Amino acid sequence: MQYRTLGSTGVEVSVLGMGAMRLPALDEMTSSANIDVPEAVKLIRRAIDGGVNYLDSAYLYHQQNSEGVVGKALADGYRERVSLATKLPMALVEKTADLDRILDEQLRRFDTDHIDFYLFHGIGAEDWERIVRLELLSAAEKARDAGKIGHICFSFHGEYAAFETIIKGYDNWAFAQVMYNYMDEDNQAGRRGVELAASRGIGIVVMEPLRGGKLARPIPAVQELLDAEGYVGGFADLALRWVWDQAEIGVALSGMTTFEQLEQNLVSADRAAVGGLTDFERQLIAQIREIYRVQNGVPCTACGYCMPCPQNLNIPFAFNLYNEVIAYQYDTESRRVYNLFPTRPAEGCIQCGVCETKCPQGIEISEWMPKIHEQFADPRPIPA
Ligand SMILES: NC(=O)c1ccc[n+]([C@@H]2O[C@H](COP(=O)([O-])OP(=O)(O)OC[C@H]3O[C@@H](n4cnc5c(N)ncnc54)[C@H](OP(=O)(O)O)[C@@H]3O)[C@@H](O)[C@H]2O)c1
């Protein structure tokens, strides 16, 4: 495992961080709420034993169950071995006192007396206006002075202009957490945002370095390219090392779900190096990018922020089936799986738009759901 200093904090963090948003679940197909707790605890502890010293959770992950499970994993002496990061759910904050109330609940969930890095979760221009208006930074500083949190940070999914406003709007950000991978170099905060933060001594924590898994599994057209070029390295490894190639990056978080993924990424993290990519790998990535730009389907990363849907649709799963058709021409298989469910993943959307207010990728979900349903649904007998 390689370690880097995070921004100006002086804190040494492992280049690979464990994201607790995609923990192993008991019934992955329909719900992320049911975490397989013993498996998740083992996975998190194996990550720490493998050198990971940075964990990222959030109040809302796994339908509010992630923090409690991370807390269980951190019992038996594991808490002292990691920097723990979690996030304030801005959607649940109406008044200044909500920060303290929610933070206290989070401390109880983790069964800890402090959180090392406390983030305003997924903020954009509107949230920033509310943070300023409700004086939430002062509230966070009071919590810091009381020893409940170590550093104040934010995660971000908006456009560059808002990122710049937020970065310049507060002098004591410890880090910014941004979506960053070789497909999103010019998207959201992007490379410009990474450079801006670094120029002010603000650390960068990367989320979705594998674009939620898309850059871990080559689609057929990309696999053909890799074969033609004689590339024998790991595909996820290439994407992770692209992130670590850049000196500004402190931690790359991956939401690892299986031991196999974790072990592979631990090996990659041993090889993390600034300027570590070869010219051949850089050229390969440029070619892969071109293929994905044409065959990317809907840019859903299955982060699950859109969930739960008031109509119980499984939005990420519906997009996944749709994208499989684009990338793999899995038409028959996607249709078969889609129709397995008593209520099919995209069935019954009333276009209320609740999901769209939460989607970090700005996907027009309520436009897509009826289209996907129409494409996949087999006719069903009308109930008597
Ligand atoms: N603050 C925010 O707004 C926000 C938003 C998103 C994420 N996050 C945080 O950032 C973390 C990282 O983002 P992410 O989970 O999207 O990371 P990611 O690394 O882009 O995606 C993780 C997924 O990639 C696949 N994967 C990982 N390693 C692999 C390997 N070696 N081989 C094959 N597949 C592999 C797995 O998908 P499959 O199991 O499907 O194959 C895994 O669930 C999250 O867990 C969360 O803690 C924060």
The secondary structure of 168-217 as a DSSP string is HT-TT--EEEEE-STT-TTSTTHHHHHHHHHHTT-EEEEE-TTGGGGGGS
| Mutate-to-test residue for ligand 1 from 83, 183, 210, 222, highest number of ligand atoms within 8 A of CB | 210
Residue 57 falls inside a structural domain:
yes
Residue 331 DSSP class: H
Residue 306 falls inside a structural domain:
no
Residue 307 falls inside a structural domain:
no
* Residues 163 and 32 occupy one common structural domain: yes
Q: Given CA atoms 313, 319, 322, 325 in this order, what sign does their dihedral have?
A: negative
- Atom 44 in ligand 1: residue holding the nearest Cα: 19
Q: How far apart are CA 237 and CA 261, in angstroms?
A: 10
* Residues 331 and 227 occupy one common structural domain: no
Cα(257) to centroid(ligand 1), Å: 8
* Residues 340 and 283 occupy one common structural domain: no
Residue 183 falls inside a structural domain:
yes
**Which range marks the domain in which residue 290 is found?**
3-294
Count of domains in the chain? 2
Cα(23) to centroid(ligand 1), Å: 10
* Residues 234 and 130 occupy one common structural domain: yes
* Residues 279 and 332 occupy one common structural domain: no
Q: What is the pLDDT of residue 294?
A: 76
Residue 135 falls inside a structural domain:
yes
Q: What is the pLDDT of residue 3?
A: 97
pLDDT tens track, the chain, 384 positions = 999 999 999 999 999 999 999 999 887 655 667 899 999 999 999 999 999 999 999 999 988 999 999 999 999 999 999 999 999 999 999 999 999 999 999 999 999 999 999 999 999 888 999 999 999 999 999 999 999 999 999 999 888 999 999 999 999 999 999 999 998 898 889 999 999 999 999 999 999 999 888 899 898 889 999 999 999 899 999 999 999 999 999 999 999 999 999 999 999 999 999 999 999 999 999 999 988 887 778 888 888 889 889 998 989 889 888 887 776 666 677 787 788 777 888 999 999 999 999 898 889 999 999 999 988 887 766 655
* Residues 264 and 332 occupy one common structural domain: no
